[in-house]
């Protein structure tokens, strides 16, 4: 298929509205705490994760809506057992059975999030998951990286009219383009993603974020699987409109994704740093900011640095460029040297043109 890469002068992407919150380049990054399977099969722990995400500064908490049987089959043949990585040796069905969020938990989790003013939505992995989330009035859908090539699923989610957030891990640019086309007119955010668990920072290629934004004319964020908070902060500095990070109460307690998840204090530190980085981007501006008020008074300027008698020629010994800044601009020094004083000049006076005798 073909697609158009927007020019560098393309208009700023329109905001996407998620539960009343605008998400786009003109707003602080939208911070998503990904619960995944870190609830460890315990509803009370899942509810505590929702509470902790809100306290840590998340804008939203995200679930995953699947069962082992909607994602795969219970089989031990070639390809069904994981090789390498955190989950070495486990079958897909076994891993997903442990990690899934039971469907009967969704309603209490949605209720808890809404009760504390936190947005909640989920990643559906098949049509039945989309239907469940529609019944729960989820305000958005997230399509996971491994499902980006499931164009029928994307089209089904897009028919809801809800905003879609698509992760791009593992995908070629052409595959991203196909997914974007499948979204149609539904509001869209792309998330640059590297689906390594965990991801080494040197694999992150964050310069892809502005490239995706230019290519597709939509807001682009980051779904991050690195350890720590440096990469999300760097992404914010590159214009990421969303930061998604896996979240756990304690890595020491375990959980399928705990190794690359942030604990509450770490998520809070990330939230603060990401929002500071976004605020620091500001605008293209030259001149004086409020915090610099009065600073120009202490730049260099021309001052009388030794007493000069009326009619005496100014020299490098009697006029210098020093601080503060109430005298003439330093660039005028060559034009001043050799001119005669119109009156007696005292050491410490800021030099002005009317202190110089007219040239003859």
Q: Where are the domains of the chain?
A: 16-281, 292-355
Query: DSSP per residue over 24-77, as a string?
Result: STTSPPEEEEE-TTTTTT-HHHHHHHHHHHHHTT-SEEEEEE--HHHH--S--S
Q: Please give the CATH topology (third level) of the domain spanning 292-355.
A: Type Iii Antifreeze Protein Isoform Hplc 12 (3.90.1210)
pTM of the model as a whole: 0.89
Q: What's the confidence (pLDDT) of residue 85?
A: 74
Q: What's the confidence (pLDDT) of residue 214?
A: 96
Residue reference for tokens 């905001």: 15
Phi, psi values for residue 305, rounded to 5°: -110, 0
Burial class for 57, CB neighbours closer than 10 Å (0-12, 13-18, 19+): middle
Q: Please give the CATH topology (third level) of the domain spanning 16-281.
A: TIM Barrel (3.20.20)
**CA angle at 172 for the pair 167 and 174, rounded to the nearest 5°:** 105
Strand 30-34 relative to strand 21-23: parallel, antiparallel, unpaired? unpaired
Q: Which portions of the chain are predicted below pLDDT 70?
A: 1-11
Half-sphere exposure of 89 (CA within 13 A, CB side): 0
Tokens at 175, concatenated: 């595959």
Q: What's the confidence (pLDDT) of residue 3?
A: 52
Q: How far is CA 275 from the centre of its chain?
A: 8
Q: What's the confidence (pLDDT) of residue 7?
A: 45
Q: What's the confidence (pLDDT) of residue 87?
A: 75
């Amino acid at each position: 298929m073909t697609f158009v890469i927007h020019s560098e002068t393309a208009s700023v992407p329109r905001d996407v509205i998620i539960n009343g919150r605008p998400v786009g380049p003109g707003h602080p990054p939208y911070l998503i705490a990904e619960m995944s399977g870190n609830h460890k099969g315990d509803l009370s722990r899942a509810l505590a994760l929702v509470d902790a995400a809100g306290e840590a500064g998340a804008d939203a908490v995200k679930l995953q809506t699947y069962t082992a049987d909607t994602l795969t089959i219970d089989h031990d043949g070639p390809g069904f057992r994981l090789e390498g990585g955190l989950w070495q040796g486990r079958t897909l069905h076994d891993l997903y059975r442990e990690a899934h969020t039971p469907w009967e938990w969704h309603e209490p989790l949605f209720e808890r999030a809404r009760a504390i003013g936190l947005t909640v939505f989920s990643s559906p992995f098949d049509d039945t998951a989309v239907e469940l989330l529609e019944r729960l009035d989820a305000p958005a859908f997230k399509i996971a990286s491994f499902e980006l090539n499931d164009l029928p699923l994307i089209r089904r989610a897009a028919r809801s009219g809800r905003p879609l957030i698509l992760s791009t891990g593992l995908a070629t640019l052409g595959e991203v383009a196909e997914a974007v086309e499948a979204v149609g007119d539904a509001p869209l955010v792309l998330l640059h993603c590297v689906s390594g668990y965990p991801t080494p920072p040197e694999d992150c290629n964050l310069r892809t974020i502005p490239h995706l934004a230019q290519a597709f004319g939509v807001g682009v964020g980051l779904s991050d699987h690195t350890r720590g908070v440096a990469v999300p902060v760097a992404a914010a500095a590159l214009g990421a409109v969303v930061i998604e990070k896996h979240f756990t109460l304690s890595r020491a307690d375990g959980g399928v994704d705990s190794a690359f998840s942030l604990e509450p204090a770490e998520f809070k530190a990330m939230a603060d740093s990401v929002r500071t980085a976004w605020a620091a981007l500001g605008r293209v501006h030259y001149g004086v900011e409020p915090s610099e008020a009065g600073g120009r008074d202490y730049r260099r300027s021309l001052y009388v640095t030794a007493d000069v008698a009326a009619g005496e020629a100014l020299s490098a010994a009697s006029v210098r460029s020093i601080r503060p800044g109430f005298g003439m601009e330093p660039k005028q020094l060559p034009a001043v040297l050799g001119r005669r004083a119109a009156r007696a000049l005292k050491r410490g006076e800021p030099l002005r043109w009317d202190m110089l005798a007219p040239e003859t």
